[in-house]
Amino acid sequence: MPNDEGNEARTAGRPRVICHMMTSVDGRIVVEGWPLSGEGSRQYEEVHATYAPDAWLCGRVTMEQHFAAGTRSDAEVARTYDGPPRADFVAPGAAGEHASFAIAIDARGKLVWESGEVAEDHVVTVLSERVSDEYLAALRERGVSYLLAGRDDVDLPVALEKIGARLGVRTLVLEGGGGINGSFLRAALVDEVSLLIAPVADGRVGTPALFDVAGEDAVPCRLTLEDVERRADELLWLRYRVQPHGESTRRPRTRRPPYAEGRFRCRPT
């Protein structure tokens, strides 16, 4: 079962981060069309609950597809801010009235929120400092909390420090797409990978993978297997501890093999 053994390895002040995902046997994460029963979804939520997280986090694309009310127009997004630093905003009663936080990484402020709640959790959006005053005012009016982290893009280490300090989050579950997952992993911000492998071979070319960020200088991350458990509906639950980058074994090579095409690069997008 999950525990806090990895806490001492993380940077003081930031939450423990568990990347919790369901994949096919070939590493794909778009579950639509998979021949699974409803038990698969139930198992995913059950495993999520075992971590008792204070927050869960997704990138803009995932939030747009499943939770937000839509997106702003390009003209609205183009209106930016270039003044002195502004304060973060945590809506009154945000922590006490909700089971956990639903956190979106949305550097340019594209998402539209109708209220400060999704799935009974309080919405917190992490933005770059370039978003306009008008957008921040709209978020406050709807009771959506926001944290400003990074000048032009979201600075993930700064964002995690603020999530810990401003919201009191100690355990965070990362459930994004391949891009945001890869960004966290490459930045050495993932402590554990919780993987539910479905008995499905996807095979669809071009669909997102678990960690899928383009780049020429990717450095694969070494994982340590902590546990394997067979679950209902023939699912396998694998738990890995992520080794710090310095612990990874690196072997010199004279040329890049054809399979090393840039996955796992984790620069924020």
DSSP calls for 81-143: --SS----B--TTTTTTSSSEEEEE-TT--EE-SSSEETTEEEEEEE-TTB-HHHHHHHHHTT
Residue 262: the pLDDT is: 41
Domain that holds residue 109: 57-169
Query: Which tens digits make up the pLDDT trace of 127-149?
Result: 999 999 999 999 999 999 999 99
Residue 165 sits in the same domain as residue 175: no
pTM given for the model: 0.85
Residue 41: the pLDDT is: 84
Query: Which tens digits make up the pLDDT trace of 54-99?
Result: 999 999 999 999 999 999 999 999 999 999 999 999 999 887 777 7
Q: Which of 169, 201, 220 is the last residue of a domain?
A: 169
CA atoms within 13 A on the CB side of 26: 12
Residue 12: the pLDDT is: 56
Residue 177: the pLDDT is: 92
Residue 203 sits in the same domain as residue 164: no
Q: Which of 123, 149, 169 is the last residue of a domain?
A: 169
Structural domains of the chain, count: 2
Residue 157: the pLDDT is: 97
Residue 246: the pLDDT is: 62
Summary count for the chain: helices (H), strands (E): 6, 12
Residue 59: the pLDDT is: 94
Residue 179 sits in the same domain as residue 242: yes
Amino acid at 152: D
Residue 34: the pLDDT is: 87
CATH assignment of the domain containing 27:
3.40.430.10
Burial class (CB in 10 A: 0-12, 13-18, 19+), 76: middle
Q: Which of 149, 169, 189 is the last residue of a domain?
A: 169
CA atoms within 13 A on the CB side of 147: 23
Q: Which residues of the chain have pLDDT under 70?
A: 1-12, 216-218, 246-269
